[in-house]
Every structure is written in structure tokens, then in C-alpha cells.
């Protein structure tokens, strides 16, 4: 054994004693250390890294060098995230720090009791969706969702199906966005006028999950946030029949919003399922004083 190796093993041995390792655990730890890459070893040399490794092993984790670094880095900073790993271990997201933090937020704020009908993994997927879902929306419209994105959507849909009997929302919801006017004309305006002319109900399919709000002010905020000079504003006024109110576990809801986003509106979020056909009730175009084009598109599930 080289002097460098002897010194390193000695340091790791004394660190492991601080953690309370048994000789068996120390042997396993040293084997994992030897087969790990440099980045992982840099974490495993620290007391917090050893604690993270020990807690993950006790939870049944089989760590690979590909995933060790992010996972160990997150858990060495917060050992409570081991519980998040347990919840997500059978998904593709068990080593995604943001997913681990999502479940941790729901648990620490005692919000899982509001969605007891669904699994913890489904609740985590919905909470993650409320933080940022642009990649799912883009992928659905472009028909190029990755397997992981589809798994995320499936978890959300599974949760929504279970919540619908108790948290289903029937009524008006709103969604604000900015889109190229050519897209609006092709997707909604032409379809609406053609249907009216032929005496048939005009319909449009929306591929993604749709995040909507009970509040027009929230929709207006998103129009303002995404405003572009070459795009038209779009206010969707939608009649929800099967949407699900997920405000209780939304990062921008009445419980987490004031803590995490005190300067933002409570979003009063209702999620509408993906791949749904909507009846186009009306399309109204207007031009604002500054020349901005705005469409009001009225849809119904």
C-alpha cells in the first residue's frame, strides 16, 4: 500500500468512526470509494458525505458512479432528502435534486394531507409541474417528448385522475400567453370560422397539460411576463369540466406561495388534462392603443 493510500485510508477510517460505522460498513464504504470517480470521492472524503452515503445505504440505495455525485451532494447538504429518495426511488427522478426538494417541501409544510388520495410520487410530480412546466408544453406541441418527460406527465395525470372526485373544478379558468399571430390564425381563427360556415362544432386539440387559473389577473401576469413585440397576446377563457384544482400543493398556491414567492400572486391553479379536444366557442381580435394585437379565445372542454 502506498503512503498516499495509507494516509487516505486512515483519514477515512477516523471519519467513519465519527459517523459510527461498523467494520462491515467501513469495508463496504472503502469499496464504494475505490470504484467512484474523482468528483464523488471529493464528497465521500467529507464527514457530511460519509453521513449521506451511510443514510442512502441504510435506505437501500444501490449507487452508481453516474448518479452518485448529484445525489450525494444534495443529501450531504440535507440528510432529510433521503426520505425524498425513498419516495422517488422507482422513478427516473430519484437523483434529481429539484425533485427531491419538491417532496421535501410538501412534507415539511404538512401538505400531503390535502392530497391523501394520491401517491407521494404523484404529489411530487404535480408540485414540480407548478414550478416549471415549459419543457413539457414544448415537447407536447412538437411531439418530441423524452421518455422522462412522458413519465412525468403520466405521474401528473395519474394523480389528477385520483384527485378529480374531490378536487375537480367546473367553471371558468384563464390562461395567458403570447404566440405568433400566424399560429393563432391557423390553429384557432380559421378552424372557428370554417366550423361556423359549415354548421359544425369547431374543435381544437391541445396536446399538453394546461396550467390555468381561476383568476384573470394571473393570466394577465403571464401575458405581461412573456410579452414580445412580434407576438400577439392571447387570453384563453376556458370552461373547465374535468380540470383539477391543485392549489393546495402548488408552489404558488395559498400555502407555499406566500413563503416561496411573497411578491407573486396566488395562482389559484387548475390543471387541465393533456390531449384533450376543446370546443371553440368564440375568437375575438382587438388592437390595443399601443398597437399590440390581442386575441380572446373562448374554449370549452
Task: Delimit the CATH 3.90.176.10 region(s) of the chain.
Answer: 168-300
Cβ–Cβ contacts within 10 Å for residue 149, how many? 17
**Whole-prediction pTM value?**
0.85
pLDDT by 10s per residue, the chain, length 301: 454 454 455 555 555 555 555 444 666 766 766 666 777 777 666 767 767 776 777 777 766 655 567 777 777 777 788 899 899 989 999 888 899 999 999 999 999 999 999 999 999 999 999 999 999 999 999 999 999 999 999 999 999 999 999 999 999 999 999 999 999 999 999 999 999 999 999 999 999 999 999 999 999 999 999 999 999 999 999 999 999 999 999 999 999 999 999 999 999 999 999 999 999 999 999 999 999 999 999 999 9
Report whether 106 contacts 249 (CB < 8 A).
yes
Report whether 126 contacts 248 (CB < 8 A).
no
Helix (H) or strand (E) holding 300: strand 293-300
pLDDT of residue 76: 74
Residue 276 forms beta bridges with which residues?
Answer: 206
Report whether 51 contacts 19 (CB < 8 A).
yes
Q: Does domain 168-300 bear CATH number 2.70.150.10?
A: no
Report whether 269 contacts 252 (CB < 8 A).
yes
Amino acid at each position: 500500500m502506498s503512503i498516499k493510500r495509507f494516509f487516505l485510508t486512515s483519514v477515512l477510517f477516523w471519519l467513519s468512526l465519527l459517523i459510527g460505522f461498523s467494520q462491515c460498513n467501513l469495508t463496504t464504504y472503502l469499496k464504494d470509494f475505490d470504484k467512484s470517480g474523482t468528483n464523488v470521492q471529493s464528497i465521500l472524503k467529507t464527514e457530511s458525505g460519509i453521513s449521506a452515503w451511510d443514510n442512502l445505504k441504510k435506505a437501500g440505495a444501490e449507487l452508481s458512479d453516474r448518479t452518485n455525485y448529484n445525489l450525494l451532494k444534495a443529501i450531504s447538504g440535507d440528510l432529510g432528502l433521503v426520505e425524498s429518495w425513498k419516495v422517488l426511488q422507482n422513478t427516473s427522478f430519484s437523483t434529481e435534486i429539484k425533485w427531491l426538494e419538491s417532496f421535501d417541501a410538501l412534507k415539511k409544510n404538512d401538505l400531503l394531507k390535502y392530497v391523501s388520495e394520491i401517491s407521494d410520487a404523484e404529489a411530487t410530480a404535480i408540485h414540480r409541474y407548478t414550478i416549471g412546466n415549459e419543457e413539457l408544453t414544448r415537447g407536447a406541441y412538437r411531439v418530441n417528448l423524452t421518455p422522462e418527460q412522458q413519465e412525468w406527465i403520466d405521474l401528473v395525470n395519474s394523480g389528477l385522475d385520483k384527485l378529480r372526485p374531490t378536487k375537480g373544478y367546473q367553471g371558468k379558468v384563464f390562461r395567458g400567453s403570447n404566440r405568433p399571430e400566424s399560429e393563432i390564425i391557423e390553429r384557432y381563427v380559421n378552424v372557428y370560422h370554417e366550423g361556423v360556415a359549415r354548421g359544425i362544432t369547431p374543435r381544437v386539440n391541445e396536446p399538453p397539460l394546461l396550467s390555468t387559473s381561476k383568476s384573470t389577473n394571473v393570466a394577465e401576469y403571464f401575458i405581461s411576463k412573456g410579452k414580445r413585440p412580434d407576438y400577439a397576446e392571447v387570453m384563453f377563457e376556458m370552461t373547465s369540466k374535468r380540470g383539477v384544482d391543485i392549489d393546495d400543493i402548488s408552489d404558488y398556491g395559498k400555502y407555499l406561495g406566500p413563503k416561496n414567492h411573497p411578491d407573486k400572486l396566488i395562482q389559484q391553479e387548475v390543471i387541465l388534462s393533456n390531449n384533450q379536444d376543446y370546443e371553440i366557442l368564440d375568437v375575438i381580435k382587438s388592437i390595443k392603443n399601443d398597437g399590440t394585437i390581442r386575441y380572446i379565445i373562448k374554449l370549452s372542454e
